[in-house]
Amino acid sequence: MGLRSGQWYDGDDRNAYIHRAWMRRGGPEDAFERPQIAIANTASDFTPCNSHLWEAARSVKNGVHERGGTPLELPVVSLGETQMRPTAMLWRNMAAMATEEMLRANPIDAAVLLGGCDKTIPSLLMAAASVDLPALVVPGGPMLTGTFRGRPLGCGTDVWRLSEEVRGGTLSAEDFTRSEASMIRSRGHCNTMGTASTMALVAEALGVVIPGVAGTPAPDSRLLQSAHEAGRLAVDMIAADRRLSTILTKASFHNAIVALAAIGGSTNAVVHLLAIAGRLGIDLTLDDFDRIGSRVPVLVDLQPAGRFLMEDLHRAGGLLAVLNEVQDLLAPDAVTVTGKPLVDYVTGNTVWDQEVIRPRAEPLVAEGGIAVLRGNLAPDGALIKPAAASPHLLRHRGRAVVFDSIEDFHARVDDPDLDIDADSVMVLRGCGPKGYPGMPEVSNMPLPRKLLEQGVRDVVRVCDGRMSGTAYGTVVLHVAPEAAAGGPLALVRDGDPIVLDVPARLIALDIPAEVLAARTANQASLDAYASPTRGWERLYVDHVQQADTGADLDFLNGSSGSAVTRESH
C-alpha cells in the first residue's frame, strides 16, 4: 500500500511538481518518499499550560527523523481555559473541525497530537477520529506543586477554596493575592485532577497515548523522551495501518470509563468522551457511564476529591498502577497505539505510595464514579460527582432559590436579604450549550456570603452548565435538556421543593405534573439566552446538541475519512 502523501507528491505532472517544489526547503532528496508526519501543536502564549509544547515538538521531530519519516509541524487552534471568554468550550467543536480539515487537506500520513489544557486533547481526538489516520497523543503534563506558607497549592481547587475563605472573612485579600504568585510553579497544566489531568489519563486508558506516559510532569525530561518515542511510533503505525478506528472501540471506551472512576476524574470527561465516540459512530451513552463506572472505587487521593496532587500520583506509580488495582474491571481486548492490549501494560505495576493510590480494599470512596441522575428536572440526564460532594447532601430535599442567568446570580448572591439557608437548593439556568452559549464552568456557584459567614461550605446546586474539574461540592450539572432548549429547568420557581437522591439516581421537582406543564419560562430567562446573529456563535447555537450526547454539532456526527478527491490546480 502506498503512502497517502503520494497522492500529492508522486508523479511528474504539473501538480506533483507544485506540491514538491514549494516544500523543498532544505529537506533531503528523498523527503517526499518518506512518511509525512504532522505534529498538530496547540502551543500558544495565550494557552500558558501548553506553551512548552514547542519543546516537545522538537523531540517528536527527532523521533520521526530517526525512524525515517518527514516531520511537519502544524499549529492548530489552541484553547486556553483560563483566558477565553465566554468559555473555551464554545470553541471546542470549532477547534476540532479546523484541525480535522487541516489533517485531511494536507499530504499527511500520520499525526502526533500535542495537547494539555482542558479542551485541546478532546478537540484533537475528535478531529483525528473524524479523519481516521494513524495518530497518537502526547499529553503536555501537569505543572509541579506550588506551595504557600508551607502548604501545597492545588491550582484551581485552591482558587475556589481560598476565594470562599476571603468572602467568608477567614482569609485576608492581601494573603489571597500573595498566594497567586505561588500557585503556578512551572510549565504544564493544572496539577489537580481537573479536566486537563483527567483527559490525559483517560486518553491513555483509551489507548491513544503510549502506556505509562500520561501524568508525566511537564518539566520532567522523561516527557521529552516520550515525545521522541511518539515520533518513532507514528512512523511505525503507518506501516501497520494502525488507524484510530482500530484503537478506539467500545472496549476502549469501557476502559476509559473505569479509569475515569478510579482516578476520581472530572465530570467534563463525560461530555468529551461522548463527543469523541460520536465521531466514530460508537454507541456510547450516559447510561454506560453509570453502568460501568458509577460503582468503581475511587483509588486516587487527589484534589479536589482528596489531598494530593499530580506530581504525587506520578511518584506513586501513575495510571498503570491505579489500573492494576482494578484490572479485573478492564476490557482485555482493547488495544493501544503500540498494537498491544492495554492490560498487557497494566499487570504488575506497583503502587509506591498507598496514601496517594489507595489499595482497592481501602478506597478513598467506595463507589465514587460519576453518577447519572434522571427525573422530571432532567429527563435526558444530569451528572454528579459523589467523590467531590458532601456525603450528608447526597440525599436531600430543599426549596429552590433560582437565578435566571449568571448576571442575575452575581447581582444577588451576596444580597443580605436573599432568602436562602443551608438547606436550600441553588438553581442556575441559561448556562447550557445553547443558552450561554458554550456550557461554561459556572455550575459550582460560589455560596452566598451570609452562608459562608455562618460556617456553611456546601449546599446542593443544580445547573445546566459545567463546572471546572478542579472544583468540588454537591453540584448537579449538565442538566439535559438545558433551559434554553426547552428543558424543565426553565420552569423552576423560587420555593419549589427539589429532591436529590444520588443512590436512587434521582433529581426531581416535587410538584404535580399538571402544575409543571401549565408553567411557561420566566421572561428574564428568555431575555438572557444567547442570540448571536453571525459567525461561529450563530453556527454553534443553531447546530449544537445537548450535553447528554456530547454537545457536538449535529452535522459533525460520524467521520468523513481521509479521502480528498480533487486537485488544487
Q: Give the lowest-confidence range in 87-96, 148-157, 338-347, 489-498.
A: 148-157
> Comparing C-alpha atoms, which of 283, 372, 285, 363 is closest to residue 329?
363
Label residue 368 by pLDDT band (50, 70, 90).
confident
Statement: residue 105 has pLDDT above 80: yes
List, as one string, the DSSP characters of 481-501. Answer: S-GGGT-GGGG--TT-EEEEE
Q: What does the block give as the cell for 240?
A: 501497520
The one-character DSSP state at 563 is -
Label residue 535 by pLDDT band (50, 70, 90).
very high
> Comparing C-alpha atoms, which of 467, 315, 297 is closest to residue 366?
297
Q: What are 54-96's pLDDT values in tens digits?
A: 999 999 999 999 999 999 999 999 999 989 999 999 999 999 9
Q: Is 195 exposed, middle or buried (0-12, 13-18, 19+ CB in 10 A)?
A: buried
Mean pLDDT, the chain, integer: 95
Q: What is the pLDDT of residue 175?
A: 85
CB 457: neighbour CB atoms within 10 A?
16
Q: What whole-number percentage of the chain has pLDDT above 70? A: 100
- Cα(152)–Cα(147) distance, rounded to whole angstroms? 4
Kindly compute the dihedral angle of the four CA atoms of residues 327, 333, 338, 342, in this order, to the nearest 10 degrees: -10
Tell me how many degrees the CA angle 265-270-271 measures, rounded to the nearest 5: 135
- Cα(544)–Cα(529) distance, rounded to whole angstroms? 14
Label residue 27 by pLDDT band (50, 70, 90).
confident
Q: What are 168-199's pLDDT values in tens digits?
A: 888 888 888 888 888 888 999 999 999 999 99
**Section 542-556 average pLDDT:** 97
Q: What is the pLDDT of residue 269?
A: 97
**Section 115-135 average pLDDT:** 97
Handedness of CA 498, 500, 504, 507 (dihedral sign): positive
- Cα(270)–Cα(256) distance, rounded to whole angstroms? 10
Q: What does the block give as the cell for 230?
A: 511518539
Whether the Cβ atoms of residue 463 and residue 378 lie closer than 8 Å to each other:
no
The one-character DSSP state at 56 is H
Instruction: Please state whether 60 falls in left (phi above 0), alpha (psi between -120 and 50) or beta.
Output: alpha
**Section 241-252 average pLDDT:** 97
Statement: residue 469 has pLDDT above 90: no
What pTM does this model have?
A: 0.96
Q: What is the pLDDT of residue 102?
A: 97
Statement: residue 326 has pLDDT above 80: yes
- Characterize 215-245 residue by residue with b for buried, 16 or more Cβ atoms within 10 angstroms of its Cβ, and e for exposed: bbbbbbeebbebbbbbbbbbbbbbeeebbbb
199 or 153: which leads in pLDDT: 199
Q: What is the pLDDT of residue 160?
A: 77
Q: Residues with Cβ < 8 Å from 177, sequence gap 6 or more? A: none
Q: What is the pLDDT of residue 262?
A: 97
Statement: residue 204 has pLDDT above 90: yes
Q: Is 71 exposed, middle or buried (0-12, 13-18, 19+ CB in 10 A)?
A: buried
**Section 293-315 average pLDDT:** 93
**Section 15-40 average pLDDT:** 93
Statement: residue 156 has pLDDT above 80: no
**Section 412-420 average pLDDT:** 96
Label residue 1 by pLDDT band (50, 70, 90).
low
Q: What is the pLDDT of residue 425?
A: 98
Statement: residue 161 has pLDDT above 90: no
Statement: residue 283 has pLDDT above 70: yes
Statement: residue 528 has pLDDT above 80: yes
Kindly compute the dihedral angle of the four CA atoms of residues 502, 505, 509, 515, in this order, to the nearest 10 degrees: -170
Q: What does the block give as the cell for 439?
A: 456550557
Label residue 138 by pLDDT band (50, 70, 90).
very high
Statement: residue 470 has pLDDT above 80: no
Q: What is the pLDDT of residue 183?
A: 85
Q: What is the pLDDT of residue 181?
A: 80
